Amino acid sequence: MFARMPMMAVVLVALLAGTVAAAPSAPPRATAPGQAPIAAPVRFASFNASLNRNATGQLVTDLSTPDNQQAKNAAETIQRVNPDVVLINEFDYDAQGQALRLFQQNYLAVAQNDALAVTYPYSYTAESNTGIASGFDLNNNGAVVTTPGAAGYGDDAYGFGVFPGQFGMAIYSKYPIDTAKIRTFQKFLWKDLPGALLPDDPATAGVAADWYSAEELAVFRLSSKSHWDVPIDVNGTMIHALVSHPTPPTFDGPEDRNGRRNHDEIRLWADYVSPGRAAYLYDDKGATGGLTAGANFVIMGDQNADPEDGDSVDSAILQILNLPNVNTSITPASPGGPQQAAAQGGANAVHKGDPAFDTADFADGAPGNLRVDYVLPSTSLRMIDAEVFWPLNTDPLFRLVGVFTPPTGFPTSDHRLVWADVQAVTTVTAKVETPPVVDADVRPGGEPNGDADDPAIYVHPTDPSRSFVIGVLKNGGLQVYDLAGAVLQTIAPADIRYNNIDLQYGFTLGAEQIDIAVATDRRNDKLVFFRIDPASRQLTDITDPALGRLFSAGNDQVLVDQQTAYGIALYRSAKSGKTFVFVSQRSADTVAQFELVAGAAGKLSATPVRSFKLRIPAGGELEDAQIEGMVADHLLGTLYIAQEKAGIWKVGAEPDVTAAPSQIDQVYPNGGNLKADAEGLVIYYLPGGKGYLLASSQGDSTFAVYTREGANAYLGSFRVGDGTAADGVQNSDGADIVNVGLGSAYPNGLLVVHDGSNDPAVLVEDDGELENASTNFKFVDWRDVAQGFLPGALQVNTVGYAPRAPNSSRAFLPVVGQPAAGR
């Protein structure tokens, strides 16, 4: 038998700040006059610093003086990056927390070379399964080893280690740690994971999951070190640092016991952050379940799994990377990774993954350099930036990473520090969602065929509660929805692909003023005009059949290549009273402006008045200049344009404007508010030329808010998360907004957004990858958005602008379908 370790010791230290100044992690953003302040980004980092030793107490001894060179290198690396929260893997655990305190006192708080010292007032460590004797022959070599340091001891321990606590973990934080709510999962049993990949003994054919005996499985812990949920209070916003260090998927045999364990250790966090998937999970205090839906989290640690290369079970890290609530909008990269992969050759030469993403410098022969260290925030947090600290060998800081040099190895570690700057994002929920459509030949739920994209909100002329939403569904045509999301009408002709839609009130057609909707048909390179009947809430096609193709006239190849009508925005000129439509060309750089004119027999047509181009993004091709989202400011005479790979532009909307478009924001990495693709644009009008421009940031599933006036200052971002009435919004494309109250359902105004990945998902294969083919629209109360920002940042004003009559204070005029002369 063996002597059990004492009950898990937990050390939480509030370190004295002292007098040493810490360098700022990420500079705060400038704030426009009168603008609510934007929360500064918070930098999270993960660093396997190899601060492990071969004997109990050796790390404490090494850190007791400020002279250990490897510890100095590790501290300088952290100081150079200056994270607000840093996880250190392979940091030997001692129950008194001496190493934790000494590393702060003698290394982090001491300026290393010309780096600024950094002080972390809060830190945390806890017991690790590494080096804790199990009392069983876990490697099945016929011997049970229970003496620390003896040959074979590590293989028979709950986690590999030659003494208890070797290869532990530590967290340092500039923000308070909520000690009462920390959860640890050190003792969760592997067998209690539903569908666990328990290893098979290859010597016993036909018997499943029998590498470990029933007695061994009754005590065998899933976590090779531990899994910790450490809540950190960042200026009133709780962010859960979910930290772990799964076992390497090697050092075993054909049973692949370590590879399978690695997979399931990663799966624990995947289930923990997925609502409804963690009911089985119990922590070391007996509490069950995972995170609540919508909680902020950052998954951190050396996961010992690369998404494309190495020895891990194929899907191991993809269990997290593919989660819909994990933000992968920026993949941390470095300049040094590709340089070293090329120089070292070996396995690196045949790797599938991009070496810029590598975080570990492993043996050249096998497995080669890999991406194994991660900082993965939830989608409720915006990623502002992210990098791997791996300088080029010409950089003076390369001395901190170096190359493997016998007999001492690397100057610091064979791993590289990874960091990400995140920012808390206001999260709102939808009150209503429309029935899903599915872009697939096989639709298991009997859903209509289609691919939702762009909505338009129609304000009813006499009864706001009878207002409705028109949504285009590409090859599925379009649908009309009431404010409860129910389908009122479906228009789905054959051989069309309605891409975007906009509407206009009180258009004069012959002797009448009517309300119209206009859609782009990208399959046929045409505009499609609809008359809106407010009484029946139905649409009727009134397109002049003589209206030709917009961009492909006389050139069928353009039609074949689908360089056709794409985005759309209607504009009624306050100067001339004329109505225009702006149309962008798919996979191209062109925006064309047309004037709406009466056609034959009460039909509607358009005639071109000008066109202009946006520049192709640097290093890109013509298709990279693609434009879709557009919106016109009818009162200020401005057109806003979302160029997907570049950012947002604005230009005068009058047909005689000759000034070139100007750019108001850029997508990452040139800007921090949008992640490509930049998509749908909408305007919330306030009196006096004020209001807000909203933009869909598709790459991180958020919506950026700018001022309508002036230089369009950035005010902040929000996302639409999971709620009781509807799931959250991902990969959003089009949107629309109105400020006026729409009856009791939306008395404060309505925002409608496209959801490009609706739940429940319908997975289909596309170019070898599984994608969710289910899409729909979500309805959001504008007040929920406004209240999610700082007080006074966003207004709710239902009477300051009338969509049906922009120059009138009466919100529900004009009444349509009346003779023009009677107006």
Whether the predicted pLDDT of 35 surpasses 70: no
Q: Per-residue pLDDT tens for 110-120?
A: 999 999 999 99
Whether the predicted pLDDT of 20 surpasses 80: no
Q: Per-residue pLDDT tens for 466-522?
A: 999 999 999 999 999 999 999 999 999 999 999 999 999 999 999 999 999 999 999
Which pLDDT band holds residue 768 (cuts at 50, 70, 90)?
A: confident
Q: Per-domain residue ranges for the chain? A: 179-326, 428-819
Q: Per-residue pLDDT tens for 685-742?
A: 999 999 999 999 999 899 999 999 999 999 999 999 889 999 999 999 999 999 999 9
User: CA 318, 680, 751 angle in degrees (round to 5)?
Assistant: 100
Residue 470, strand partner residues? 456, 480
Return d(Cα 698, Cα 628) in angstroms, integer: 12
Is-cis flag, bond preceding 677, omega within 30? Answer: yes
How remote is the C-alpha of 144 from its chain's centroid? 47
Say what the pLDDT of residue 769 is: 79
Return d(Cα 171, Cα 177) in angstroms, integer: 10
Is the CB of residue 694 less than 8 Å from the CB of residue 737?
Answer: yes
Q: Per-residue pLDDT tens for 227-254?
A: 999 999 998 889 999 999 999 999 999 9
User: Average pLDDT of 531-546?
Assistant: 98
Is the CB of residue 488 less than 8 Å from the CB of residue 538?
Answer: yes
| Type of residue numbered 99 | A
Is the CB of residue 159 less than 8 Å from the CB of residue 92?
Answer: no
Measure Cα distances from 106 to 169, 271, 809 in Å. Answer: 18, 39, 68
Q: Whole-model pTM? A: 0.75
Q: Which helix (H) or strand (E) holds 478?
A: strand 478-482
How many CA atoms lie less than 13 Å away from 696 in the CB half-sphere? 30
**CATH, range 428-819:** 2.120.10.30
**Tokens (6 digits) for 691:** 């209001």
Say what the pLDDT of residue 39 is: 66
User: Average pLDDT of 554-570?
Assistant: 91
Which pLDDT band holds residue 566 (cuts at 50, 70, 90)?
A: very high
Q: If you average pLDDT over every residue of the chain, what do you get?
A: 92
How many CA atoms lie less than 13 Å away from 213 in the CB half-sphere? 9
Q: For the residues of 164-197, what is the DSSP string, one character each?
A: TTTT-EEEEESS-B-GGG-EE-TT-BGGGSTT--
Of the chain, the percentage scoring pLDDT greater than 70 comes to: 93
Closest CA to 261 of 330, 211, 332, 331: 211
Say what the pLDDT of residue 792 is: 87
Whether the predicted pLDDT of 590 surpasses 90: yes
